[in-house]
Chain A
Amino acid sequence: MFRQATRSRLSFPSRTVRGLPSLQAAPLSRTIVTKKYTVEHEIVQFDDETHTGVVSITDHAQSSLGDVVFVELPTVGSQVTQGDQIGAVESVKAASDIYAPVSGEVLEVNERLNTEPGLLNRSPEDEGWLCRIKLSTPSEVDSLLTLEAYKETFES
């Protein structure tokens, strides 16, 4: 599940990842994808070549939420600032907000979630991705949490 710890080197196109749009970019170059976490249980998979980040929620978050019944996504083209409310998730147990983990422009949203909110449970970090953001301040990624630091926020 948490196979990429904090910073991992992926070579494309030798490996295809279903669902995640940014990882399909830059087919011939070596791209560094950094996976960082937030205390709000979100993940940013940051591609340093394109300066884009794919936002998703963690497996831990989806299992705590239970069956997701509704996902509200941000609008494509909107400018978001780190910490802004950009969407919402409602499950059979809870209603929660989604916050922008980084600042930038929303390039793409996962429209499948409109009709298949359950993707968030089945594949939170892959097919259930939320949106792709073009970072206006790529250095924001550095201040996000590593997997270990993220785990410490709820394991005590």
Chain B
Amino acid sequence: MSSLSLLHHATTRLSSIHRFSRSLTSTITPAHSIYVSKSTNPYFNLTFEDWLFRHKPPKEPLLLLYRDHPCVVIGRNQNPWKEVNFRALHRSGIPFVRRRSGGGTVYHDLGNTNFSIHVPRTTFDRSATAQIILRAVRSLDIDAHVNDRNDICVGKEKIRPFIIATCSAYKIVNNRAYHHGTMLISTRLDTLGDLLRSNKESMVTKGVASVRSPVCNLQQFSSTISHDAFVDAVVHEFRNEFDISEQACMIGETDELMGDDYIHKGMKELPSWEWAYGQTPEFEYKITRSFAWGDVAASIHSKHGIILSCSIDVLKGGNIVLNHEMGEIGKRLEGKRYGQIEDSEVIGARGQSGDILQWLRQEMEV
């Protein structure tokens, strides 16, 4: 019936992809235990989260709460063309973001609240985090419970597993396990369904696939629940659990944080083509189309967002000249960015070549 939280494993990559990022240093250090972000910029929040869980001493408990304006967040090793419905994405003007941690695709908007919780290793217990979130939800007069697998439930339905995440896996010394989850409060479930639908069965991709789970909003059970109420409740339970007397530290896109090298470069990297598309695992996309002049099958092979090869076969209606032309188009696309065929490429092409280029461009953009 009702999955209250969309949990994915929030696992931070141990180092950034580019070599320059590996030497990034921060001039600031996280001094607090509880952070609430006032920013709704996903690029800021995801980068701040990454910075926070990397720079906080692992022996200290840590909580971060935030929400983002509408965006689709895909996992580190996922294929956006497979996970995201680009037609709906462009129509809605919503961006997609590749986060630095692994796992599947989720939808964020102001109706869902993200929480990341780290509990110190010595006291780490699979159920500790689930219990904190459970107590917070129950304090808001929602009759939730945790099942034996630490899923938060309302009613008896099986809910998604609560996954432990580890940050910086290779750097075992700094290893810190944390839970990342999303609490759906009043999220646009219809938009979520549109954006995450892709149905590209003939796209065979390497990488990590998403698992679809039924979800519902907390507001279904309590009309008075809100982001602020949920944040206050989680902060309250977290302070109780760890005897923390300090208040939550409110953060935002302040000069101090934005001026930090790690955060500044991290925020610049997330929306870049090299990160968002260029980190896509290898895939192959096979498509067919009937034109007035013949039937065509195309197969596009791509890795890291670059077209490695593109073969175009005329199945019906072909001849030596046409086959040669198709071969030439395939060669011309090699090395180009997948999904980014320039206007100039298409405008200059006439006849069958023009048809093919326009078709391929369309197929790659959705």
Residues of A within 8 A of B (CB): 40-41, 60-61, 64-65, 69-70, 72, 75, 83-85, 88, 90-97, 99, 114, 153-154, 156
Contact = CB atoms under 8 A, between A and B. Distances in A.
A84 B15 CA distance: 11
B321 interface: no
Given A85-B18, A114-B206, A93 B281 contact: no
27 contacts: A40-B15, A41-B170, A61-B172, A64-B170, A72-B77, A72-B281, A75-B303, A85-B17, A90-B75, A90-B208, A91-B102, A91-B169, A92-B9, A93-B163, A93-B169, A94-B14, A94-B166, A94-B169, A95-B12, A95-B100, A95-B102, A96-B14, A96-B170, A97-B15, A114-B206, A153-B173, A156-B173
A83 B22 contact: yes
A70 B207 contact: yes
Please list the 7 inter-chain residue pairs (A to B) with the smallest Cβ-Cβ separation, ordered nearest first: A95-B102, A94-B169, A94-B11, A95-B76, A154-B172, A90-B102, A93-B166
A52 to B, nearest CB: 23
A93 B164 contact: yes
Nearest to B11: A94
B269 to A, nearest CB: 13
A88 B303 contact: no
A69 B77 CA distance: 10
B contact face: mostly helix, strand, loop, or mixed = loop
Contacts of A94: 9, 11-12, 14, 101-102, 165-169
Contacts of B208: 69-70, 90
Contacts, number: 89
B77 A83 contact: no
A60 B303 CA distance: 30
B227 interface: no
B19 interface: yes
Nearest to B168: A94
B164 to A, nearest CB: 7
Contacts of A85: 17-19
Contact of A97 (B17, B101, B166, B172): B17
Contacts of A154: 172-173
A76 B26 CA distance: 36
Contacts of A64: 166, 169-170, 172, 175
Nearest to B167: A94
A114 B205 CA distance: 11
B13 interface: yes
A90 B79 CA distance: 14
A88 B169 contact: no
| Most-contacted residue by chain B among A92, A94, A156 (CB, 10 A) | A94
Interface string B81-111: 0000000000000000000111100000000
Given A64-B175, A88-B76, A83 B169 contact: no
A61 B172 CA distance: 8
B238 to A, nearest CB: 23
Contacts of B170: 40-41, 61, 64, 96
B73 to A, nearest CB: 13
A156 to B, nearest CB: 7
Contacts of B22: 83
Q: Which of B15, B164, B167 has the most CB atoms of chain A within a 10 A radius of its CB?
A: B15
A99 B102 CA distance: 18
Given A70-B207, A70-B208, A93 B173 contact: no
Given A83-B22, A93-B169, A95-B101, 17 more contacts: A61-B170, A64-B166, A69-B208, A70-B77, A70-B206, A84-B19, A90-B102, A91-B11, A93-B11, A93-B166, A94-B167, A95-B11, A95-B12, A95-B13, A95-B76, A96-B170, A154-B173
A19 B12 CA distance: 31
Contacts of B206: 70, 72, 114
Contacts of A72: 77, 206-207, 281-282
A90 B12 CA distance: 11
Interface string B161-187: 001111111101101000000000000
Nearest to A72: B281
A69 B11 CA distance: 14
A144 B282 CA distance: 31
